[in-house]
Amino acid sequence: MPDLMNKNILTLRGGGCGSSQIMPTNPSLKDKDQDIENFITKFDFYVEKICAKAAVAANQSESQEIMIAIQWFIFQEENIYKLNKNAEKVKKSYNLIEGIRKLLKSCLIYVRTDPFKCFYILKTTASLSKIIFSFHIINDKRFMKCDLQKEFLDISDELKQQMEIEKNDLIQIQMELYLFLTKTSFEFAPNNSTERGCN
């Protein structure tokens, strides 16, 4: 693994003496952009895997597939961060909003069947919702549709109620935190309504 990350320079001198020097390599900007593009390309596939299998998550083989998809999102956390820091990529990634909506809706099932999966999905939606919020900050002439914003807030409120009913003491606070972060990103995104709050 270190060989993949660093270049090793060997210098030979006479008499069998030698020295080596490790030169760290920095991933190029092109590689970083490629990682972000790969994330955006595979995003819908893994969202569908999590959402389509939510109802049958109790099945062992289905549960493993769901965990693979959740792990993919966990491993993509750095790419999500890089995407959010790249204004040009943020402007092109608004279509992630539909996947975020699906993930949030799937949590309505996972909060009852598997709270730990719900926790990791909420952690992912909190990170992804920052991208949508950044999009609206960068593009001050673009507004979120009021009905879509209301749908996100309604899903968040319903999920909060379900969390209160299920009460999983081990991860309750963390789930509430990530739900709050997700909801706040959508709540404060500029909308197309003339009033501050959507009706």
* Span 178-189, pLDDT tens digits: 999 999 999 988
Query: What is the rounded CA–CA span in Å between residue 51 and residue 56?
Result: 10
Q: How many domains does the chain have?
A: 1
Asked if the structure places residue 109 within a domain, the reply is yes
* φ, ψ (nearest 5 deg) of residue 21: -140, 130
Asked if the structure places residue 193 within a domain, the reply is no
Give the lowest-confidence range in 22-31, 101-110, 138-147: 22-31
Instruction: Classify 117 as helix, strand or coil.
Output: helix
Give the lowest-confidence range in 31-35, 132-136, 151-155: 31-35
* Mean pLDDT, rounded, for 89-116: 92
What's the mean per-residue pLDDT of the chain?
Answer: 84
* φ, ψ (nearest 5 deg) of residue 11: -120, 125
Of 20, 107, 7, give the one whose Cα is nearest residue 57: 107
> How sure is the predictor about 153, in pLDDT bands with cuts at 50, 70 and 90?
very high
Using CA of residue 77, residue 148, residue 89, residue 138, what is the dihedral sign? negative
Of 125, 46, 140, 126, give the one whose Cα is nearest residue 91: 140
Asked if the structure places residue 195 within a domain, the reply is no
**pLDDT over threshold 90, residue 160:** yes
b/e sequence 182-194, b meaning 16+ C-beta within 10 Å? bbebbbebbbebe
* Mean pLDDT, rounded, for 109-132: 93
* Mean pLDDT, rounded, for 44-65: 86
Asked if the structure places residue 59 within a domain, the reply is yes
> How sure is the predictor about 99, in pLDDT bands with cuts at 50, 70 and 90?
very high
> What length does the chain have?
199
Asked if the structure places residue 170 within a domain, the reply is yes
Give the range of the structural domain holding residue 114, as residue numbers without chain letter: 27-187
Per-residue pLDDT, 132? 92
